[in-house]
Amino acid sequence: MITYVPNSDGESIQVMTDLVTIKVSNEGLVLTEVSTPPGGGPPMLHRHADQETFYVLEGQIRFDTMQNDQPESIEVGPGAVIHIPSMDWHNYKNVGNMPAKLIVILQPGNMIDFFRELGVAVTDRTNSPHPSGPPDMQRVMAITQKHHVEMLPIAVHH
């Protein structure tokens, strides 16, 4: 059966700095639209069983990873596609001065349960809640452990 999702539809979750809207979720695949403000993105390198494919629609995004135990980064703009295999260390950050928008495909899509627990449900995407301060890292780490997300607390500087 064909699924049609209008622009304004989808379950939206504010996950730290980013607004994640689930557009399609079926067995084995979740497609999300992610809006991230300047400086937004997860707080550190992480890895998980889901593989992720990012398609940058708007903005400038820096993707960080580890290669041979050394931090490595690539900065990309609209039209770029980045694929992160399962259990590869990665992170992203909006390094531009405007909000960025990405399409993110998660396979098999188990990370959505992590986003739902970590984030806050949003009913009005034009007026989503903004973090009032830095995340409660003790809470974040407890949720990441529960959902088998590993964090690597090293800084990638540029």
SS3 143: helix
Identify the pLDDT of residue 124. Answer: 78
Tell me the domain boundaries of the chain: 11-152
pLDDT at 128 > cutoff 90: no
For the stretch 138-155, pLDDT in tens is: 888 899 999 999 988 765
pLDDT at 20 > cutoff 90: yes
Distance CA(26)–CA(19), nearest Å, equals 20
For the stretch 32-61, pLDDT in tens is: 999 999 999 988 899 999 999 999 999 999
Count CB neighbours of 132 within 10 A. Answer: 5
Q: What is the mean pLDDT of the chain?
A: 90
SS3 82: strand
Angstrom CA distances, 37 to 16, 67, 99, 125, 127, stand at 11, 27, 4, 14, 13
Instruction: Tell me whether residue 115 is exposed, middle or buried, using C-beta atoms within 10 angstroms of its C-beta: 0 to 12, 13 to 18, 19 or more.
Output: buried
Identify the pLDDT of residue 131. Answer: 64
Distance CA(7)–CA(102), nearest Å, equals 14
The model carries a pTM of: 0.89
CATH topology of domain 11-152: Jelly Rolls (2.60.120)
Reported confidence tier of residue 130, pLDDT bands at 50, 70, 90? low
